[in-house]
Structure 1
Amino acid sequence: MVGVNPLVLPGVYAPQEDTDLLAGALSEESLPPGSDVLDVGTGSGALALEAARRGTRVTAVDVSRRAVYAARCNAWRAGLSVRVLRGNLFDPVRGQTFDLILANPPYVPAPNGGRTPRGPARAWDAGGDGRLVLDRICREVPGLLRPGGVLLLVHSALSDPDRTVGHLRAAGMKASVTRRRRIPFGPVLRSREDWLRRRGLLSRGENDEELVVVRAELPR
């Protein structure tokens, strides 16, 4: 797992299997020193720090005040330079472009999909189909990447990776699922397992979750 004893405040998303899967994808990217990297939904800052260790210029964004504080503290503890901003997804970096964008957004389908998530649930609840934030990323990310720039996006197979890939290809990007990992249900999925089965998002015999990384590249 990425990170060594990061500071994780109550209500801040801690590094988990999806963080680790995305970090593995990050490790395979060619990132010359001085490349500009954006980490949206940074949580405790684990992925931002992984990118900063590569000698890149990193901007991290989170809507949570506690997450921003935790990410700044973890960068200071690691002796790494990371610009951490508070805001909703890409709002704090309008007008800027990046060589690489990392995204671990909320992606879990939620029974009360019409309600705006509050508190810690903002880190995982993403509407009735899990795509409340994913669709926005697919729409907006091409305008934030430089030619040849790459998006690395992690989410659950429950929130339709084919749709993600299709949206990104329709926006003119080369996109595919490059990593997969099956993991046991965590507390959130266990608490809504029956609802997911009624919705047809889980089959009767399915007792674990598949995570995927979607890689999309903007043509040069």
Structure 2
Amino acid sequence: MKYADIDYNECDEVYPPAEDTFLLIDNLSIDATDDVLEIGTGSGLVSIFASLQCNTVTSTDINPHAIECARNNVELNNRTNIRIIESDLFENVTEKYDLILFNTPYLPVSMEEHSDDNYSKAWDGGESGREVIDRFIDEAPIYLKKNGRIQIVQSSLSDNEKTLSEFEKKGFEVEITAIEHVFFEDITLITAHKR
């Protein structure tokens, strides 16, 4: 498969690049000197695009199949400035970054429909769609360098206003910087700047 000039492979049990992935890629806000962290890398496509524009990328995912898929796609594109680690959000992250990227699991899923398999973790946001988003907002600030930024993707189904409010409470300047209307929802890119 190909997006722009980047070749990639989709993998079994790994969330494939879709509208939300491309919304993030097309609106990356990266400086050449940035050290970037991507949470939930999936196939690694966002990290590959980021690596073309920045100093280093650390890519994480909770899904071991995604880790393998991302490694293969990084090798396919000969990217040497990407490090990939298995991690549940920031569990195995030890450094601070200029920019954190996250295409969140944002879909509201009832307890009856919930599945604990690796693939579902890419899109299952719990009953409100906010289970992982709220954990991320709570934990992310300590992993940012001074004047650091965050770009996250979520759905209008998972309460954009609450995300904006929660970032503001943590001392960020925050705004919706891109929107893609898809079927029954708006996929939004939210950008937060640490004050």
Q: Normalized against structure 2, the TM-score is what?
A: 0.93
Letter of the 1:93 counterpart: V
- The question of whether the paired residues in 2 share the 8 Å contact of 1:109 and 1:159 is answered with yes
Instruction: Report the equivalent of 1:154.
Output: 153
**Against the structure 1 CA distance between its residues 45 and 210, is the aligned structure 2 distance closer, same or farther, given a 3 Å change threshold?**
same
Matched residue SS, 2:131:
coil
Give the deviation of 1:116 after TM superposition.
Answer: 6.0
Task: Report the RMSD for the aligned CA atoms in angstroms.
Answer: 1.6
CA-to-aligned-CA distance 1:151-189 (integer Å, 9 cap, x gap): 0000100000110010000000111111111012xxxxx
- The question of whether the paired residues in 2 share the 8 Å contact of 1:2 and 1:15 is answered with no
Q: Which has the larger radius of gyration?
A: 1
- The question of whether the paired residues in 2 share the 8 Å contact of 1:114 and 1:127 is answered with no
- The question of whether the paired residues in 2 share the 8 Å contact of 1:2 and 1:23 is answered with no
How does 1:163-202 map onto structure 2 within 5 Å? 163-184=162-183
Taking the aligned partners of 1:139 and 1:40, their CA distance within structure 2 comes to: 14
Give the deviation of 1:56 after TM superposition.
Answer: 2.1
Q: 1:212 aligned to 2:184?
A: no
Instruction: Report the equivalent of 2:16.
Output: 14
Instruction: Report the equivalent of 1:90.
Output: 90
Instruction: Report the equivalent of 1:74.
Output: 73
**Structure 2 residues without counterparts, runs of 5 or longer:** none
Taking the aligned partners of 1:130 and 1:39, their CA distance within structure 2 comes to: 20
CA-to-aligned-CA distance 1:6-47 (integer Å, 9 cap, x gap): 122111011110011111220xx24123x2100000000011
Q: Which has the higher helix share?
A: 1
Q: Which has the higher strand share?
A: 2
Give the deviation of 1:4 after TM superposition.
Answer: 3.7
Give the deviation of 1:63 after TM superposition.
Answer: 0.7
- The question of whether the paired residues in 1 share the 8 Å contact of 2:30 and 2:99 is answered with no
Letter of the 1:212 counterpart: T
- The question of whether the paired residues in 2 share the 8 Å contact of 1:25 and 1:152 is answered with no
Taking the aligned partners of 1:20 and 1:175, their CA distance within structure 2 comes to: 21
Give the deviation of 1:119 after TM superposition.
Answer: 3.2
Give the deviation of 1:121 after TM superposition.
Answer: 1.0
Taking the aligned partners of 1:114 and 1:16, their CA distance within structure 2 comes to: 22
**Against the structure 1 CA distance between its residues 3 and 142, is the aligned structure 2 distance closer, same or farther, given a 3 Å change threshold?**
farther
Q: 1:49 aligned to 2:52?
A: no
- The question of whether the paired residues in 2 share the 8 Å contact of 1:177 and 1:213 is answered with yes
- The question of whether the paired residues in 2 share the 8 Å contact of 1:68 and 1:86 is answered with yes
- The question of whether the paired residues in 2 share the 8 Å contact of 1:61 and 1:68 is answered with yes
Instruction: Report the equivalent of 1:38.
Output: 37
Moved over 2 A (4+): 1-5, 113-117
Taking the aligned partners of 1:16 and 1:151, their CA distance within structure 2 comes to: 20
Q: Aligned pair count?
A: 192
Instruction: Report the equivalent of 1:23.
Output: 25
